[in-house]
Chain A
Amino acid sequence: MKPVITVKNLSKTFRLPGERRGTLRERLMKLHIRNEVSARKTLDGLNFEIMKGEFFGIIGRNGSGKSTLLKILAGIYRPDKGSEITIHGKIAPMLELGVGFNPELTGRENVYLNATILGLTRSQIQERYQDMVRFAELEQFMELQVKHYSSGMSVRLAFAVAMQVDCPIMLLDEVLAVGDFVFAEKCFAHFEKCKREGKTIILVTHDPAAMERFADRAMLIHQSKLHTIGNPHEVLEKYKALG
């Protein structure tokens, strides 16, 4: 098996100014005082590989650095100097569903906008439009402005669009924890299908049940460091032992 993602010595330090000086007045008034900058290491020396076709789970407490890791993999944040990340293949980041949804636009318009952001061409969208609508169970509501949708409806629509993205690597952040039971099952079924197609799926979650059910391998991040990596069951035991 070939690794699709290789991460070597990945660190991420955020510089946190001692106090916020957002406005010009604040800057001018305090020009003579040095603004102490404190650094916070959110990720510290991570090394791991993710193989092709793997369902890779990432678990950890709040603030452990999981989301930062995903954002770095997605290219949103820059890692510190000295970190090495090699990625083979395009990544579909699903850190949040319905990114770029505009409440003023109709469901249909938002599908086109969101799908374009996620990398689909116009003809691909047209081709798959009916599938998306059917999957979201929103046949009668596509010409309605999204601001009139319930939160469940817009999440379903967002997921239906995200599903159509066919990148070889998918990054998912807690997105499974949405929708009712039936819809959640549909989503899981979709991920299993993706996995069978040989896609690599990276999932960040708090849900031990989902982790145990789907992940081939798991990684526990604790206090910015890689704690354990390996069999999901063992990793979950370690996670629970953290207390």
Chain B
Amino acid sequence: MSDQLRYSLRLFFTLTWTTFKMRYYGSFLGYIWSLLRPLALFGVLYIVFTFFLKQSAPHYKLFLLLGIILWTFFAEATTLGMNGFIGNYTLIRKVYLPRIILVASAVSSAFLGLFFNLIVFTIFAILDGIHWNLQMLWFIPLLLALYFLVLGIGLILSILVVKIRDTQNLWEVAVQLGFWLTPVMYPMSNVPEKFRFLVFLNPMSGILEYSRYYLVGIGGATNIGYFYVMAISVVLLAAGILVFKWKEGEMVEDL
């Protein structure tokens, strides 16, 4: 392994851990906050949907919780990634370091949070008496695809935000809209047939739908759909890296 690569990896892990630690640093509940936030949202939505809207599908609780955990990660990680470049501008202007690490470690710190949340999901799944099976392993590639997707988007946004500051506000609105336009709260089968194709264009739809099919057993999955989800995530990551590499030098001078 070359020195440069080893340095990059060291820096990546140190920054990821520091960013993760910093987010709840000094707060009384610490890491527990990263669990409490999605749980609170889940609690509210669960009450609304089961008591007022009488949603009674089996394992609906798990379906909703997993959706919220994954979507919260998507929202958090893309936002952190977006600010990974401009947020570290004092660093960028004073030392040379592979800047892609700054975005990658921001995204990865959110990914660490996701792991904690998935532990909570597992506890709920045990309590809810879920049927464990080997098919669940299909979730692991999906998790990787989600990471690639978020990193790709984060990289593109981090460059865009240097040129156009509105990106921050636009993305906030987009994430809010996305929460309702993506099947987070409802299964894909509730979407009218003619719109499904449009909803699937959003890469998060596939990730959510398939994750829940394999882990909770709600919804459906096709091989081609699974392949599409994996492929689009890899493509977005590649696009993100290309855009970032192409523009980073110019953006450093523009910060």
Residues of chain A having any CB pair with chain B under 8 Å: 14, 22-25, 27, 71, 74-78, 93, 95-96, 99-100, 102, 104-105, 109, 112-113, 116-119, 121-122
Bound Cα distance from A105 to B237, whole angstroms: 32
If the complex has contacts A76-B252, A93-B94, A95-B95, are A113 and B10 also in contact, measured as CB distance less than 8 A?
no
**Cβ-defined contact, B22 with A102, below 8 A:** yes
Bound Cα distance from A112 to B166, whole angstroms: 35
Residue of A nearest to B97 (CB): A117
**Cβ-defined contact, B94 with A96, below 8 A:** yes
Interface size grouping (class) on chain B:
20 to 34
B96 within 8 A of A: yes
**Cβ-defined contact, B11 with A117, below 8 A:** yes
Q: Closest CB of chain A to B2's CB: distance in Å?
A: 12
Q: Closest CB of chain A to B129's CB: distance in Å?
A: 43
Could you list 14 further interchain pairs (A-B, Cβ under 8 angstroms) beyond the known A78-B249, A93-B94?
A22-B164, A23-B165, A74-B95, A75-B96, A76-B93, A76-B252, A93-B95, A99-B95, A104-B25, A105-B18, A113-B15, A117-B97, A118-B95, A122-B10
Interfacial residues of chain B within 200-239, with CB under 8 A of chain A in the complex: none
Q: Closest CB of chain B to A149's CB: distance in Å?
A: 16
**Cβ-defined contact, A104 with B26, below 8 A:** yes
Residue of B nearest to A93 (CB): B95
Partner of A99, one of B26, B94, B252: B94
**Cβ-defined contact, B11 with A77, below 8 A:** no
B7 within 8 A of A: yes
Residue of A nearest to B12 (CB): A116
**Cβ-defined contact, A112 with B96, below 8 A:** no
If the complex has contacts A22-B164, A23-B166, A78-B249, are A112 and B14 also in contact, measured as CB distance less than 8 A?
yes
Q: Closest CB of chain B to A100's CB: distance in Å?
A: 5
Partner of A105, one of B22, B94, B252: B22
In the complex, which residues of chain B have a beta carbon less than 8 angstroms from the beta carbon of A71?
93
Q: Closest CB of chain B to A50's CB: distance in Å?
A: 18
In the complex, which residues of chain B have a beta carbon less than 8 angstroms from the beta carbon of A118?
95
Residues of chain B having any CB pair with chain A under 8 Å: 7, 10-11, 14-15, 18, 22, 25-26, 90-97, 164-166, 170, 249, 252-253
**Cβ-defined contact, B253 with A77, below 8 A:** yes
In the complex, which residues of chain A have a beta carbon less than 8 angstroms from the beta carbon of B94?
76, 93, 95-96, 99
User: How many residue-residue contacts, CB under 8 A, span A and B?
Assistant: 62
Cross-chain pairs A/B with CB under 8 angstroms, 8 sampled: A22-B164, A23-B165, A24-B166, A24-B170, A76-B252, A105-B25, A117-B91, A119-B7
Q: Closest CB of chain B to A109's CB: distance in Å?
A: 8
In the complex, which residues of chain B have a beta carbon less than 8 angstroms from the beta carbon of A93?
94-96
Which one of B22, B93, B96, B252 has the greatest number of beta carbons of chain A within 10 Å? B96
Q: Closest CB of chain B to A163's CB: distance in Å?
A: 16
**Cβ-defined contact, B164 with A27, below 8 A:** yes
**Cβ-defined contact, A117 with B18, below 8 A:** no
In the complex, which residues of chain A have a beta carbon less than 8 angstroms from the beta carbon of B92?
76
Partner of A74, one of B22, B96, B170: B96
Bound Cα distance from A104 to B22, whole angstroms: 8
In the complex, which residues of chain A have a beta carbon less than 8 angstroms from the beta carbon of B166?
23-25
Bound Cα distance from A96 to B155, whole angstroms: 27
In the complex, which residues of chain A have a beta carbon less than 8 angstroms from the beta carbon of B11?
116-117
In the complex, which residues of chain A have a beta carbon less than 8 angstroms from the beta carbon of B18?
102, 105, 109, 113
Bound Cα distance from A116 to B94, whole angstroms: 15
For the complex of A and B, the 8 pairs showing the least CB-CB separation, nearest first, are A75-B96, A24-B166, A99-B94, A116-B14, A96-B94, A78-B249, A95-B94, A100-B91
Bound Cα distance from A77 to B248, whole angstroms: 10
Bound Cα distance from A154 to B79, whole angstroms: 31
In the complex, which residues of chain A have a beta carbon less than 8 angstroms from the beta carbon of B25?
104-105
In the complex, which residues of chain B have a beta carbon less than 8 angstroms from the beta carbon of A116?
10-11, 14
In the complex, which residues of chain A have a beta carbon less than 8 angstroms from the beta carbon of B95?
74, 76, 93, 95, 99-100, 117-118
Bound Cα distance from A99 to B10, whole angstroms: 17
In the complex, which residues of chain A have a beta carbon less than 8 angstroms from the beta carbon of B90?
99-100
Which one of A27, A76, A121 has the greatest number of beta carbons of chain B within 10 Å? A76
In the complex, which residues of chain A have a beta carbon less than 8 angstroms from the beta carbon of B170?
24
Q: Closest CB of chain A to B117's CB: distance in Å?
A: 24
Q: Closest CB of chain B to A104's CB: distance in Å?
A: 6
In the complex, which residues of chain B have a beta carbon less than 8 angstroms from the beta carbon of A23?
164-166
Q: Closest CB of chain B to A24's CB: distance in Å?
A: 4
Residue of B nearest to A92 (CB): B95
Residue of B nearest to A95 (CB): B94
**Cβ-defined contact, A99 with B165, below 8 A:** no
In the complex, which residues of chain B have a beta carbon less than 8 angstroms from the beta carbon of A121?
10
